[in-house]
Copies of this chain bind each other. A is one copy, B any other.
Amino acid sequence: MAKAKKSAAKKPAGKAKKYVYFFGNGKADGEGHMKALLGGKGAGLAEMTKAGVPVPPGFTITTEVCNLYYEVGKKVPEAVDKEMLVYVDKLEKATGKKFGGENPLLVSVRSGAKFSMPGMMDTILNLGLNDSTVLSLIKQTKNERFAYDSYRRFIMMFSDVAMDVPKNKFEHLFEEAKHKKGVKLDTELDAKDLREICEKFKELFKKEKGMDFPQEPLQQLKLARNAVFNSWMNDRAIYYRKQNDIPHDLGTAVNVQSMVFGNMGNDSGTGVGFTRNPATGENVFYGEYLINAQGEDVVAGVRTPQPIASLEKDMPEVYKQLRQITSKLEKHYRDIQDFEFTIEKGRLFMLQTRSGKRTAKAAVRIAVEMVSEKLITKEEAVLRVAPATLDQLLHPVFDPKAELQVIAKGLPASPGAATGKAVFTANDAVEWDEKGEHTILVRQETCPDDIHGMDAANGILTARGGMTSHAAVVARSMGKCCVAGCEDIKVDEHNKTMTTKSGLVIKEGEWISIDGSTGKVIKGKVPTVEPKLEGEFGTFMKWADSYRTLTVRANADVPRDGKVARDFGAEGIGLCRTEHMFFDADRLPHMRAMILATDEAGRRKALEKLLPMQRSDFKGLFESMEGFGVTVRLLDPPLHEFLPKREELMVDIAKAEASGKNTIETEGLKKALELIKTNGTELEKAKILLARVEELHEFNPMLGHRGCRLGITYPEITEMQATAIFEAAAEIIKAGKKVVPEVMVPLVGNVKEFKDQKAIIDKMAQKVIKEKGVKMQYMVGTMIEVPRAAVTADKIAEEAEFFSFGTNDLTQTALGFSRDDAGKFTKAYIDKFIFEKDPFQTLDQDGVGLLMIDAVNKGKSVRPGIKLGICGEHGGDPASVEFCHRIGLSYVSCSPYRVPIARLAAAQAGINFPAKKAAAKKTAKKK
């Protein structure tokens, strides 16, 4: 505050400065853009008033007064007090009512800062009521009960908010009164009861504060105003600002607005509505209202509201005016409006208007139609749809009419809705699928071994793992619904059951449904509705693409995914994870044979079997992309992922030994045991297999023998994969089509690792080019996914032709968070605001982002035209896409089903941050 005091000394308060801004009767001192001075609410009220909308008149005391208040030691300077009196006077004139008069002026007092701060201060309504005006109110409304109810509410609100008398003390008295009368509901108290309660409330106030309840409306107003200023520095407001990086010296404004009542008879009423249908986007007037009622009544559902069209019959003039006003507001704000209105004795007042929340479907339709109505530009239309909401358009949803029996809740890991019979192993999912059954695959957690089962199931449910666990990542890439990390259930894979917290047991074959957009797990079969991409969507996305400078690629491992990605508009593949090709039933044995081989010759023999399979995979993938770039990443995961689980082997061996058997219990292991080429019992073979598994076991596989470390220790793997890539490309080229394969080396941290692998890749390329007699271009680049790669990117760029940021692993290593384990503390971290969002979902721009910027700058310093992309999960997250645009990446790559989201996010970034476009043009010219 020391700093603030200085400025107060320089600037004597109240001289020639305006501290209060009036609005009412079509005129307003302020304007919509003056949010810093008037707060968001005050500026909005001024704007509406100016636009000719009937708004209950009032005035706004500026944020500067708040700052003055603190500068001079929690006092409002006299000059400001005087100025306020002028506007109270003006308000009385504008309303024809008077503070404390027979036609009493009642006002609401609300805070309103530049940035919305929910929960900073409660509103005070009905200020101006006292022992005398309450009687005037009775006269006016002919409703004694309403008047005393309003008064007792005001006493309580004012005492609590402005005078620090705890609300619960009043509530206690109120409950006592009900008890005494033997009733349960507030509404069962009559006017007399309420009048008595008002008396008791005032007594309580006196006892607590040692003074009478303030009767003078002006005194009430000053106290309420100061209470608003005080609330600016209360604990929760300070905490909120700290957490949201809002400066403490902005201050809050105070809005004083005359009350209107919709319950003053049959010529009064209240209602809410939308200027268009918020569910479908159709351009029809939409809403509902109640005659002789207050706002709460509509919300509370005590009476059934009428559709707004009826108002035309009930009050044709008011209806006409409402249509005119709301049309005007929509034109003025150039967006669908969600409004509230009150009719007081035939007179219409607008209490609020704001942009209406809408479904994704509506958002797209409204945006496109508003362009044809010439209400907004195409650019604005593109900015109007939140990219993440497109998900709703791309996945099936539950039939909205269905009733849902929710039995558990997990993480909404991959959107969509699915229903099927519960199965508990990947093999079962495949078997049941072959029999034509729909299934939900329920697992403790999934592993790469389960992919065929995930593919066969309609949806996936896991008890463990976060938003970027194996199940979640794979499901999203398949566009398949998934609820992950559902800690409410216990999965017993052995007995094929799952048990919810409440003890409900779901057995194999029972119907369950999951909602991957909400995380809900539902008992029984729920019908789903397939979404349809309608006409507006295509138009909208075409517009979006025209503003986009970032290319959007997809992460796809098999031709089928490539096809989906193309259909969603992907311009290439940014990440093909070759290892996913090794889990198929016809390949896994060769992969395992390679791992179990004791020498290079043995490994080469197994790799020879894999070569033609990989080649045909790559060929299909190249074909699916129709000439767009395809980045193929060399083998990445540690080899033990391809072998049976260590614990499973240990337990099976222990069981066999303890029971004196020579056979192994778990069916799934038998196939793996066949690969052990010795004579011996299953038990003996299992021990040999376990020995190899133990050799490969790692304490921290994430930081272990994987990525390019595999290719460096086993160069023959890189040789095989490079050969398969180039041979596939050669076949495409021979068929007269275009392809420029991009070979990507994973997990590079040191340029020397990259050089080692690039030498092998180049050698294989030359060999294939020579053997096949084709001309072929190709690129060799690297992932930037460990911090050392980022900080030495200048060295790496000397050798690498492109970078792709692997932000999943980069987040894991930069933060030291294992994404499979972080679930244990992520919730506490988000609750304590340590991270605002899960850093595995939305890029940690302030941390991981700094490493990326460093890498971009260093990379470009050495190789100005270097191609830069991102292929982590963040490539499909709108905020992260914007960041990638801002720091100058060339492309983002994401799951096929997120391609439209990324396209839209990139378009919005292109509009909001055009600098990069200009810079890009400049660079292009220079060349």
**Using a CB–CB distance below 8 Å, which chain A residues touch chain B?**
646-647, 650-652, 654-659, 698-705, 707, 709, 712-713, 747, 749-750, 752-753, 756, 785-788, 791-792, 795, 809, 812-818, 820-822, 824-825, 828-829, 832-835, 844, 846-848, 850-851, 854
How far, in whole Å, are A567 and B746 apart by their CA atoms in the complex?
48
Contacts of A654 in B (CB 8 A): 651-652, 654-655, 658
Taking CB as reference atom, which chain B residue is nearest A788?
B847
How far, in whole Å, are A750 and B816 apart by their CA atoms in the complex?
11
Q: Evaluate contact between B788 and A848: CB separation under 8 angstroms.
A: yes
Q: Evaluate contact between A699 and B820: CB separation under 8 angstroms.
A: yes
**A756-B650 contact given A788-B814, A821-B704, CB 8 Å threshold:** no
How far, in whole Å, are A500 and B37 apart by their CA atoms in the complex?
82
Contacts of A821 in B (CB 8 A): 698-701, 703-705
Instruction: Return the contact of A699 from the options B701, B786, B814, B851 (Cβ within 8 A).
Output: B701
How far, in whole Å, are A701 and B700 apart by their CA atoms in the complex?
7
Q: Evaluate contact between B703 and A791: CB separation under 8 angstroms.
A: no
Q: Evaluate contact between B828 and A713: CB separation under 8 angstroms.
A: yes
Contacts of A795 in B (CB 8 A): 846
Taking CB as reference atom, which chain B residue is nearest A820?
B699
How far, in whole Å, are A847 and B790 apart by their CA atoms in the complex?
9
Contacts of A850 in B (CB 8 A): 791-792
Taking CB as reference atom, which chain B residue is nearest A809?
B816
Q: Evaluate contact between B703 and A702: CB separation under 8 angstroms.
A: yes
Q: How far is the CB of A261 from chain B (nearest CB, A)?
A: 47
Q: Evaluate contact between B824 and A705: CB separation under 8 angstroms.
A: yes
Taking CB as reference atom, which chain B residue is nearest A853?
B791
**A712-B832 contact given A749-B847, A816-B747, CB 8 Å threshold:** yes
Contacts of A702 in B (CB 8 A): 699-700, 702-703, 816, 818
Contacts of A792 in B (CB 8 A): 846-847, 850
How many identical chains are in the complex? 2
> Which 10 pairs between the two chains have the least Cβ-Cβ distance?
A703-B818, A700-B818, A786-B816, A787-B787, A658-B658, A788-B847, A704-B821, A655-B658, A658-B659, A699-B820
The 19 sampled A-B contact pairs (Cβ below 8 Å) are: A650-B650, A652-B654, A654-B654, A654-B658, A698-B824, A699-B701, A699-B818, A700-B701, A700-B702, A702-B818, A704-B821, A704-B824, A705-B824, A709-B829, A712-B828, A712-B829, A752-B832, A752-B833, A787-B814
Q: Evaluate contact between B657 and A712: CB separation under 8 angstroms.
A: no
How far, in whole Å, are A818 and B813 apart by their CA atoms in the complex?
11
How far, in whole Å, are A844 and B792 apart by their CA atoms in the complex?
12
Q: How far is the CB of A486 from chain B (nearest CB, A)?
A: 15
Instruction: Return the contact of A813 from the options B699, B712, B785, B787 (Cβ within 8 A).
Output: B787
How far, in whole Å, are A839 and B785 apart by their CA atoms in the complex?
19
Q: Evaluate contact between B851 and A816: CB separation under 8 angstroms.
A: no
Q: How far is the CB of A470 from chain B (nearest CB, A)?
A: 10
How far, in whole Å, are A785 and B815 apart by their CA atoms in the complex?
10
Q: How far is the CB of A859 from chain B (nearest CB, A)?
A: 15
How far, in whole Å, are A651 and B854 apart by their CA atoms in the complex?
49
Q: How far is the CB of A809 from chain B (nearest CB, A)?
A: 7
Contacts of A835 in B (CB 8 A): 750
Main secondary structure of the interface of A (DSSP, over half): helix
Q: Evaluate contact between A834 and B700: CB separation under 8 angstroms.
A: no
Q: Evaluate contact between A787 and B851: CB separation under 8 angstroms.
A: yes
Instruction: Return the contact of A703 from the options B652, B700, B749, B832 (Cβ within 8 A).
Output: B700
Q: Evaluate contact between A712 and B825: CB separation under 8 angstroms.
A: yes
Q: Evaluate contact between A832 and B786: CB separation under 8 angstroms.
A: no
Contacts of A705 in B (CB 8 A): 821, 824-825
How far, in whole Å, are A901 and B818 apart by their CA atoms in the complex?
36
Contacts of A818 in B (CB 8 A): 698-700, 702-704
How far, in whole Å, are A6 and B702 apart by their CA atoms in the complex?
51
Q: How far is the CB of A455 from chain B (nearest CB, A)?
A: 23
Contacts of A650 in B (CB 8 A): 647, 650-651
How far, in whole Å, are A749 and B829 apart by their CA atoms in the complex?
12
How far, in whole Å, are A816 and B818 apart by their CA atoms in the complex?
12
Q: Evaluate contact between A815 and B701: CB separation under 8 angstroms.
A: no
Q: How far is the CB of A823 from chain B (nearest CB, A)?
A: 9
How far, in whole Å, are A681 and B752 apart by their CA atoms in the complex?
58
- Most B Cβ at <10 Å: residue of A652, A698, A814: A814
How far, in whole Å, are A19 and B26 apart by their CA atoms in the complex?
99
Contacts of A815 in B (CB 8 A): 749, 786, 788
How far, in whole Å, are A756 and B831 apart by their CA atoms in the complex?
12
How far, in whole Å, are A650 and B756 apart by their CA atoms in the complex?
42
How far, in whole Å, are A712 and B749 apart by their CA atoms in the complex?
31
Taking CB as reference atom, which chain B residue is nearest A648?
B650
Taking CB as reference atom, which chain B residue is nearest A851?
B791
Taking CB as reference atom, which chain B residue is nearest A790?
B787
Q: How far is the CB of A280 from chain B (nearest CB, A)?
A: 43
Contacts of A848 in B (CB 8 A): 788
Q: How far is the CB of A814 from chain B (nearest CB, A)?
A: 4
Q: How far is the CB of A454 from chain B (nearest CB, A)?
A: 19
Contacts of A822 in B (CB 8 A): 703-704
Instruction: Return the contact of A750 from the options B652, B753, B788, B847 (Cβ within 8 A).
Output: B847
Contacts of A707 in B (CB 8 A): 816
- Give me 18 other A-B pairs in contact (C-beta within 8 A), A712-B828, A791-B851 excluded: A651-B651, A655-B658, A656-B658, A657-B658, A658-B659, A698-B820, A699-B701, A700-B700, A703-B818, A704-B824, A712-B825, A749-B815, A753-B834, A756-B834, A788-B844, A791-B850, A791-B854, A813-B814
Q: How far is the CB of A204 from chain B (nearest CB, A)?
A: 36
Contacts of A698 in B (CB 8 A): 818, 820-821, 824
Q: How far is the CB of A474 from chain B (nearest CB, A)?
A: 16
How far, in whole Å, are A749 and B747 apart by their CA atoms in the complex?
22
Q: Evaluate contact between B816 and A816: CB separation under 8 angstroms.
A: no
How far, in whole Å, are A700 and B792 apart by their CA atoms in the complex?
25
How far, in whole Å, are A851 and B787 apart by their CA atoms in the complex?
9
How far, in whole Å, are A655 and B652 apart by their CA atoms in the complex?
9
How far, in whole Å, are A589 and B698 apart by their CA atoms in the complex?
28
How far, in whole Å, are A835 and B713 apart by their CA atoms in the complex?
14
Instruction: Return the contact of A812 from the options B703, B828, B846 (Cβ within 8 A).
Output: B703
Taking CB as reference atom, which chain B residue is nearest A465?
B699
How far, in whole Å, are A295 and B787 apart by their CA atoms in the complex?
54
Q: How far is the CB of A485 from chain B (nearest CB, A)?
A: 13
Taking CB as reference atom, which chain B residue is nearest A655?
B658
Instruction: Return the contact of A816 from the options B646, B655, B749, B824 (Cβ within 8 A).
Output: B749
Q: Evaluate contact between A700 and B791: CB separation under 8 angstroms.
A: no
Contacts of A651 in B (CB 8 A): 650-651, 654
Q: How far is the CB of A736 from chain B (nearest CB, A)?
A: 39
Taking CB as reference atom, which chain B residue is nearest A817?
B703
